[in-house]
Amino acid sequence: MKTTYVKSRQITCVSEPSTFKKVKVTSPDIAQRFARQFYHEDIELYESMFIMMLSRTGMITSYAKISQGGTAGTVADPKIIAKYAVDDLCASVILVHNHPSGNPEPSQPDKDLTKKVKIGLGMLDIKLHDHIILTTDGYTSLANEGLI
């Protein structure tokens, strides 16, 4: 019987560590300000989710776009989130997505994804540091809300 090998897929991060100014995340406010560079006028058009990977000292080492959806939601696959985190060998991650509606409150699917990602990454010894929801005028930190 002949053995067949499948070529593995490679997913790379949007930005390599040397191509952006490193930022140390010491608060949700710093994280949300950094994340706003991912969004432009599209923050009010459609939902997108990004992941920011952090070192043990809290420095953002890389980031990547996880998904882009429609006006009322986006689908984020926890396996893709874990892949980016493992590839980066990061200590923790921050999830960020926007709500085009302008309502920064987390929906039940937002809470469910947060819980699933926290449990999954925890098994890999990677901490879910925060999940931030952005709007044009504000943000909500699920960590600050006690939801992580």
Q: Is residue 88 part of a domain?
A: yes
CATH number at residue 136: 3.40.140.10
Determine, yes or no, domain membership for 147.
no
Residue found under tokens 């926007």: 98
Residues in Cβ contact with 29 at an 8 Å cutoff, skipping those fewer than 6 apart: none
Q: What are 113's two structure tokens?
A: 């994804």
Domain that holds residue 70: 28-141
pTM for the whole structure: 0.85
Task: Give dist(CA 26, CA 8) in Å, integer.
Answer: 36
The pair phi, psi for residue 65, each rounded to 5°, is -85, 125
Chain segment 54-84, per-residue pLDDT in tens:
999 999 999 999 999 998 889 999 999 999 9
Assigned domain for 1 exists: no
Is 45 among the domain residues?
Answer: yes
What residues have CB less than 8 Å from 81, skipping those under 6 apart? 51, 66, 93, 95, 117, 120, 121
Structurally, the chain folds into a number of domains equal to 1
Specify if 47 maps to a domain: yes
Residue 41 is predicted with a pLDDT of 87
Q: Are strands 48-54 and 127-134 parallel, antiparallel or unpaired?
A: unpaired
pLDDT in tens, 29-50: 999 999 999 998 889 999 999 9
Q: Please give the pLDDT value at position 15.
A: 47
3-state secondary structure of 57: coil
Token reading at 11: 């997913």
In a domain, 68, yes or no: yes
Residue bearing the bigger pLDDT, 85 or 22:
85
